[in-house]
Amino acid sequence: MKNSYQFQHRHILGIEQLSTTDIIHILDIALSFKEISTRSIKKVPTLKGKTIINFFFEPSTRTRLSFEIAAKRMSADTFNIAASTSSAQKGETLIDTARNLEAMNPDIIILRHGSSGAPALLTRYVTAGIINAGDGTHEHPSQALLDMMTVRDHKKSLEGLKIAIIGDIAHSRVAHSNILGFTKMGADVHVAGPATFMPPHVDTLGATVAASVKEAVTDADVVMALRIQKERQDDPLIPSLREYAQFYGINKSILKHAKPDVLVMHPGPINRGVEMNPDVADGEASVILEQVTNGVAIRMALLYLVMGTQGAEV
Protein backbone atom coordinates (compact mmCIF):
# COMPACT_ATOMS: atom_id res chain seq x y z
CA MET A 1 0.00 0.00 0.00
CA LYS A 2 2.60 2.48 1.06
CA ASN A 3 4.46 2.19 -2.23
CA SER A 4 1.36 2.98 -4.27
CA TYR A 5 0.67 6.20 -2.35
CA GLN A 6 1.23 9.36 -4.29
CA PHE A 7 0.76 12.90 -3.05
CA GLN A 8 -1.93 14.37 -5.31
CA HIS A 9 -2.57 17.91 -4.16
CA ARG A 10 -1.70 20.65 -6.63
CA HIS A 11 -2.60 23.19 -3.97
CA ILE A 12 -2.54 23.26 -0.19
CA LEU A 13 -5.69 25.17 0.72
CA GLY A 14 -6.38 23.68 4.11
CA ILE A 15 -6.14 20.68 6.38
CA GLU A 16 -9.75 19.93 5.42
CA GLN A 17 -8.67 18.59 2.01
CA LEU A 18 -5.83 16.42 3.38
CA SER A 19 -6.25 12.77 4.32
CA THR A 20 -4.55 11.16 7.30
CA THR A 21 -2.14 9.50 4.87
CA ASP A 22 -1.33 12.88 3.31
CA ILE A 23 -0.60 14.37 6.72
CA ILE A 24 1.66 11.48 7.78
CA HIS A 25 3.47 11.73 4.46
CA ILE A 26 4.05 15.47 4.86
CA LEU A 27 5.30 15.02 8.43
CA ASP A 28 7.65 12.19 7.34
CA ILE A 29 9.08 14.23 4.48
CA ALA A 30 9.48 17.25 6.78
CA LEU A 31 11.33 15.12 9.31
CA SER A 32 13.74 13.95 6.63
CA PHE A 33 14.33 17.58 5.55
CA LYS A 34 14.87 18.84 9.09
CA GLU A 35 18.48 17.78 9.10
CA ILE A 36 19.31 20.05 6.16
CA SER A 37 18.82 23.10 8.37
CA THR A 38 21.44 21.80 10.80
CA ARG A 39 24.20 21.54 8.20
CA SER A 40 26.88 24.17 7.86
CA ILE A 41 25.88 24.57 4.19
CA LYS A 42 22.10 24.71 4.56
CA LYS A 43 21.15 24.19 0.95
CA VAL A 44 20.11 21.36 -1.34
CA PRO A 45 19.57 21.74 -5.09
CA THR A 46 16.12 20.10 -5.11
CA LEU A 47 14.12 23.10 -6.37
CA LYS A 48 16.88 24.79 -8.35
CA GLY A 49 15.46 26.93 -11.14
CA LYS A 50 11.96 26.97 -9.64
CA THR A 51 10.20 30.24 -8.97
CA ILE A 52 8.24 30.77 -5.79
CA ILE A 53 6.33 33.94 -4.98
CA ASN A 54 5.45 34.94 -1.44
CA PHE A 55 2.28 36.96 -1.95
CA PHE A 56 1.31 38.48 1.39
CA PHE A 57 -1.70 40.73 1.83
CA GLU A 58 -1.35 40.79 5.60
CA PRO A 59 1.66 41.64 7.72
CA SER A 60 3.62 38.58 8.69
CA THR A 61 7.14 38.12 9.93
CA ARG A 62 7.59 34.52 10.85
CA THR A 63 5.39 32.76 8.33
CA ARG A 64 6.75 34.77 5.40
CA LEU A 65 10.33 34.34 6.55
CA SER A 66 9.79 30.66 7.26
CA PHE A 67 8.49 30.05 3.72
CA GLU A 68 11.31 32.10 2.26
CA ILE A 69 14.00 30.25 4.18
CA ALA A 70 12.38 26.95 3.26
CA ALA A 71 12.39 27.86 -0.43
CA LYS A 72 15.98 29.11 -0.36
CA ARG A 73 17.24 26.01 1.42
CA MET A 74 15.75 24.07 -1.49
CA SER A 75 17.54 26.43 -3.95
CA ALA A 76 14.35 27.92 -5.40
CA ASP A 77 14.25 31.56 -6.48
CA THR A 78 11.92 33.45 -4.18
CA PHE A 79 10.21 36.79 -4.51
CA ASN A 80 8.21 38.65 -1.93
CA ILE A 81 5.23 40.83 -2.63
CA ALA A 82 3.58 42.61 0.24
CA ALA A 83 0.38 43.89 -1.26
CA SER A 84 -1.76 46.01 0.97
CA THR A 85 -5.49 45.74 0.84
CA SER A 86 -5.55 49.47 0.10
CA SER A 87 -4.02 48.84 -3.33
CA ALA A 88 -6.96 46.56 -4.00
CA GLN A 89 -9.26 49.43 -3.11
CA LYS A 90 -7.45 51.57 -5.66
CA GLY A 91 -8.80 49.26 -8.30
CA GLU A 92 -6.56 46.27 -8.75
CA THR A 93 -8.37 43.13 -7.82
CA LEU A 94 -6.77 40.08 -6.28
CA ILE A 95 -7.52 38.18 -9.46
CA ASP A 96 -5.88 40.83 -11.67
CA THR A 97 -2.76 40.88 -9.53
CA ALA A 98 -2.59 37.11 -9.52
CA ARG A 99 -2.98 36.96 -13.30
CA ASN A 100 -0.08 39.38 -13.60
CA LEU A 101 2.04 37.19 -11.38
CA GLU A 102 0.98 34.18 -13.40
CA ALA A 103 2.24 35.86 -16.56
CA MET A 104 5.73 35.70 -15.05
CA ASN A 105 5.47 31.92 -14.79
CA PRO A 106 5.91 31.17 -11.12
CA ASP A 107 5.72 27.54 -10.08
CA ILE A 108 4.17 28.16 -6.70
CA ILE A 109 2.38 31.13 -5.17
CA ILE A 110 2.23 31.27 -1.39
CA LEU A 111 -0.72 33.42 -0.40
CA ARG A 112 -1.59 35.10 2.86
CA HIS A 113 -4.84 37.04 2.66
CA GLY A 114 -7.37 38.57 5.04
CA SER A 115 -10.35 37.06 3.21
CA SER A 116 -11.35 33.49 3.96
CA GLY A 117 -11.37 31.52 0.73
CA ALA A 118 -8.96 33.80 -1.16
CA PRO A 119 -6.52 30.93 -1.95
CA ALA A 120 -9.41 28.80 -3.23
CA LEU A 121 -10.42 31.72 -5.44
CA LEU A 122 -6.90 32.00 -6.90
CA THR A 123 -6.84 28.35 -7.93
CA ARG A 124 -9.63 29.14 -10.39
CA TYR A 125 -7.59 31.80 -12.17
CA VAL A 126 -3.95 30.72 -12.11
CA THR A 127 -2.20 27.50 -13.01
CA ALA A 128 0.61 27.76 -10.44
CA GLY A 129 0.34 25.72 -7.26
CA ILE A 130 -1.20 27.71 -4.43
CA ILE A 131 -0.17 27.27 -0.82
CA ASN A 132 -2.38 28.90 1.75
CA ALA A 133 -0.26 30.75 4.30
CA GLY A 134 -3.33 31.84 6.24
CA ASP A 135 -6.68 33.06 4.88
CA GLY A 136 -8.95 35.20 7.02
CA THR A 137 -10.40 33.15 9.84
CA HIS A 138 -10.43 30.01 7.73
CA GLU A 139 -7.24 27.92 7.70
CA HIS A 140 -3.51 28.06 8.24
CA PRO A 141 -2.47 24.57 7.19
CA SER A 142 1.32 24.89 7.40
CA GLN A 143 0.99 26.07 11.01
CA ALA A 144 -1.14 23.07 11.94
CA LEU A 145 1.28 20.73 10.21
CA LEU A 146 4.27 22.14 12.07
CA ASP A 147 2.30 21.87 15.31
CA MET A 148 1.50 18.24 14.60
CA MET A 149 5.14 17.61 13.69
CA THR A 150 6.31 19.13 16.96
CA VAL A 151 3.91 17.05 19.02
CA ARG A 152 4.79 13.89 17.12
CA ASP A 153 8.50 14.48 17.74
CA HIS A 154 7.80 14.25 21.45
CA LYS A 155 4.89 11.84 21.71
CA LYS A 156 5.75 9.46 18.84
CA SER A 157 2.07 9.26 17.81
CA LEU A 158 -0.82 11.70 17.91
CA GLU A 159 -3.38 8.94 18.41
CA GLY A 160 -5.37 9.29 21.63
CA LEU A 161 -3.62 12.44 22.83
CA LYS A 162 -5.62 15.10 24.61
CA ILE A 163 -4.97 18.47 23.01
CA ALA A 164 -6.25 21.58 24.78
CA ILE A 165 -6.54 24.77 22.73
CA ILE A 166 -7.27 27.88 24.75
CA GLY A 167 -8.33 31.29 23.48
CA ASP A 168 -10.08 32.98 20.58
CA ILE A 169 -11.08 29.90 18.63
CA ALA A 170 -13.64 31.78 16.53
CA HIS A 171 -11.16 34.15 14.94
CA SER A 172 -8.19 31.80 14.80
CA ARG A 173 -7.31 30.05 11.55
CA VAL A 174 -4.57 28.29 13.54
CA ALA A 175 -7.15 26.78 15.87
CA HIS A 176 -9.37 25.84 12.95
CA SER A 177 -6.60 23.98 11.12
CA ASN A 178 -5.29 22.38 14.31
CA ILE A 179 -8.72 21.11 15.35
CA LEU A 180 -9.14 19.49 11.93
CA GLY A 181 -5.58 18.15 11.82
CA PHE A 182 -5.24 16.68 15.29
CA THR A 183 -8.73 15.20 15.06
CA LYS A 184 -7.88 13.52 11.75
CA MET A 185 -4.79 12.05 13.40
CA GLY A 186 -6.88 10.49 16.16
CA ALA A 187 -6.21 13.01 18.91
CA ASP A 188 -8.93 14.39 21.14
CA VAL A 189 -9.17 18.17 20.86
CA HIS A 190 -10.73 20.22 23.65
CA VAL A 191 -11.22 23.95 23.32
CA ALA A 192 -11.79 26.50 26.06
CA GLY A 193 -12.29 30.22 26.32
CA PRO A 194 -15.09 32.67 26.92
CA ALA A 195 -18.20 31.97 24.83
CA THR A 196 -17.48 35.13 22.84
CA PHE A 197 -14.44 33.30 21.48
CA MET A 198 -16.29 30.16 20.39
CA PRO A 199 -17.47 29.77 16.82
CA PRO A 200 -21.03 28.49 16.39
CA HIS A 201 -21.19 24.70 16.19
CA VAL A 202 -17.45 24.31 16.85
CA ASP A 203 -18.20 20.66 17.64
CA THR A 204 -18.85 20.08 13.94
CA LEU A 205 -15.14 20.66 13.34
CA GLY A 206 -14.40 17.84 15.75
CA ALA A 207 -13.61 19.72 18.95
CA THR A 208 -15.15 19.30 22.37
CA VAL A 209 -16.01 22.55 24.13
CA ALA A 210 -14.78 22.50 27.72
CA ALA A 211 -16.65 24.43 30.39
CA SER A 212 -13.45 25.92 31.75
CA VAL A 213 -9.76 26.17 31.06
CA LYS A 214 -9.18 23.82 33.95
CA GLU A 215 -11.45 21.20 32.43
CA ALA A 216 -9.70 21.47 29.07
CA VAL A 217 -6.22 21.35 30.58
CA THR A 218 -6.89 18.46 32.97
CA ASP A 219 -4.84 15.43 31.86
CA ALA A 220 -3.90 17.17 28.63
CA ASP A 221 -0.83 16.04 26.67
CA VAL A 222 -0.64 19.38 24.88
CA VAL A 223 -1.77 22.84 25.94
CA MET A 224 -1.83 25.42 23.18
CA ALA A 225 -2.64 29.05 23.88
CA LEU A 226 -3.77 31.35 21.07
CA ARG A 227 -2.77 34.93 20.59
CA ILE A 228 -5.26 37.52 21.79
CA GLN A 229 -5.73 39.89 18.89
CA LYS A 230 -5.54 43.23 20.62
CA GLU A 231 -6.20 44.98 17.33
CA ARG A 232 -9.68 43.49 17.11
CA GLN A 233 -11.68 46.49 18.29
CA ASP A 234 -14.95 46.41 16.35
CA ASP A 235 -16.60 43.73 18.41
CA PRO A 236 -16.29 43.69 22.20
CA LEU A 237 -15.36 40.08 22.87
CA ILE A 238 -13.70 40.46 26.28
CA PRO A 239 -13.92 43.27 28.83
CA SER A 240 -10.18 43.60 29.37
CA LEU A 241 -6.88 41.84 28.88
CA ARG A 242 -6.45 41.92 32.65
CA GLU A 243 -9.59 39.89 33.20
CA TYR A 244 -8.71 37.55 30.34
CA ALA A 245 -5.30 36.81 31.81
CA GLN A 246 -6.91 36.11 35.16
CA PHE A 247 -9.50 33.63 33.92
CA TYR A 248 -8.07 32.22 30.69
CA GLY A 249 -4.34 32.82 30.79
CA ILE A 250 -2.01 29.81 30.92
CA ASN A 251 0.08 29.91 34.05
CA LYS A 252 1.96 27.42 36.20
CA SER A 253 -0.91 26.70 38.55
CA ILE A 254 -3.39 25.79 35.79
CA LEU A 255 -0.74 23.63 34.12
CA LYS A 256 -0.53 21.46 37.25
CA HIS A 257 -3.76 19.83 36.10
CA ALA A 258 -2.18 18.66 32.87
CA LYS A 259 -0.11 15.50 32.45
CA PRO A 260 3.40 15.80 33.92
CA ASP A 261 4.98 15.61 30.47
CA VAL A 262 2.62 18.20 28.94
CA LEU A 263 3.85 20.22 25.97
CA VAL A 264 3.11 23.94 25.98
CA MET A 265 2.64 25.51 22.55
CA HIS A 266 1.86 28.89 21.05
CA PRO A 267 1.68 29.90 17.37
CA GLY A 268 3.20 33.29 18.18
CA PRO A 269 3.62 36.13 18.55
CA ILE A 270 2.96 35.86 22.29
CA ASN A 271 1.35 38.55 24.38
CA ARG A 272 3.35 37.69 27.46
CA GLY A 273 1.32 37.97 30.62
CA VAL A 274 -1.97 37.86 28.72
CA GLU A 275 -2.67 34.47 27.19
CA MET A 276 0.52 32.96 28.60
CA ASN A 277 2.78 33.79 31.50
CA PRO A 278 6.49 34.21 30.75
CA ASP A 279 7.43 31.44 33.19
CA VAL A 280 5.31 29.04 31.15
CA ALA A 281 6.37 30.32 27.73
CA ASP A 282 10.01 29.95 28.73
CA GLY A 283 9.48 26.95 31.00
CA GLU A 284 10.71 23.42 30.42
CA ALA A 285 7.36 22.24 29.03
CA SER A 286 7.49 24.88 26.30
CA VAL A 287 8.20 23.73 22.74
CA ILE A 288 7.43 27.12 21.22
CA LEU A 289 10.80 27.58 19.57
CA GLU A 290 10.80 24.00 18.28
CA GLN A 291 7.55 24.92 16.53
CA VAL A 292 9.42 27.67 14.70
CA THR A 293 12.26 25.35 13.73
CA ASN A 294 9.86 22.69 12.50
CA GLY A 295 8.00 25.34 10.55
CA VAL A 296 10.88 25.58 8.09
CA ALA A 297 10.99 21.80 7.64
CA ILE A 298 7.22 21.59 7.10
CA ARG A 299 7.33 24.35 4.51
CA MET A 300 10.23 22.69 2.71
CA ALA A 301 8.13 19.52 2.58
CA LEU A 302 5.09 21.38 1.28
CA LEU A 303 7.08 23.16 -1.43
CA TYR A 304 8.68 19.90 -2.46
CA LEU A 305 5.43 17.96 -2.56
CA VAL A 306 3.39 20.66 -4.28
CA MET A 307 6.16 21.18 -6.84
CA GLY A 308 5.94 17.47 -7.56
CA THR A 309 2.30 17.79 -8.60
CA GLN A 310 2.80 20.72 -10.98
CA GLY A 311 3.60 18.46 -13.93
CA ALA A 312 7.27 19.40 -13.74
CA GLU A 313 10.27 17.25 -12.98
CA VAL A 314 11.53 17.69 -9.45
Partner 1 sequence: MNDMIILQNGRLLDPTTGTDTTGDLWIKGGEIVPAEAQIPENSRIEDVSGKWIVPGLIDMHVHLREPGEEYKETVESGTRAAAAGGFTAVACMPNTKPVNDEASVTRFILDKARNASARVYPAVAISRGSQGTELAEYGELKEAGAVAVTDDGLPVLDSQLMRRAMEYAGSHDLLVISHSEEMALSKNGAMNEGVVSTRLGLRGIPAAAEAIMVYREIALAELTGQRTHIAHVSTLAATDLIRQAKARGVKITAETTPHYFTLTEEAVGDYDTNAKMNPPLRTEADRQAIRVGLQDGTYDCISTDHAPHSVLEKECEFDRAMNGIIGLETSLPLSLALVREGVIEPLRLVELMSSAPARILKVAGGTLVEGSVADVTVIDTEKEFIFTKESILSKGKNSPFIDWKLQGKAVLTIMGGRVTHDELT
Q: Which residues bind partner 1 (CB under 8 A)?
A: 16, 93-95, 113, 115-118, 120-121, 135-139, 173, 176, 199-202, 204-205, 234-235
* 237 beta partners: none
**Going by C-beta distance under 8 Å and a sequence separation of 6 or more, which residues neighbour residue 192?**
164, 165, 166, 209, 210, 211, 212, 213, 215, 216, 217, 248
Question: Smallest distance, Å, CB 265 to partner 1?
Answer: 21
Q: What is the DSSP string of 36-85?
A: GGGSSS---STTTT-EEEEEESS--SHHHHHHHHHHHHTT-EEEEEE--H
Nearer to partner 1, 24 or 98 (CB): 98
Q: What is the DSSP string of 215-273?
A: HHHTT-SEEEEPPP-TT--SS---S-HHHHHHHH-B-HHHHTTS-TT-EEE--S---BT
H helix intervals, 131-204 = 141-155, 173-184
Q: How many CB atoms neighbour CB 78 within 10 A?
A: 21
Question: Smallest distance, Å, CB 105 to partner 1?
Answer: 23
Question: Smallest distance, Å, CB 189 to partner 1?
Answer: 14
Q: What angle do CA 40, 42, 46 make, to 5 degrees?
A: 145
Contact status, residue 189 vs residue 178, Cβ threshold 8 Å = yes
Q: At what angle do helices 288-307 and 20-34 cross, to 10 degrees?
A: 110
Nearer to partner 1, 206 or 283 (CB): 206
Nearer to partner 1, 37 or 115 (CB): 115
Question: Smallest distance, Å, CB 113 to partner 1?
Answer: 7
Nearer to partner 1, 51 or 172 (CB): 172
Nearer to partner 1, 59 or 311 (CB): 59
Question: Smallest distance, Å, CB 24 to partner 1?
Answer: 23
Question: Smallest distance, Å, CB 249 to partner 1?
Answer: 25
Nearer to partner 1, 68 or 135 (CB): 135
Question: Smallest distance, Å, CB 155 to partner 1?
Answer: 28
Nearer to partner 1, 231 or 234 (CB): 234
- CB-based burial of residue 121 (10 Å sphere; 0-12 exposed, 13-18 middle, 19+ buried)? middle
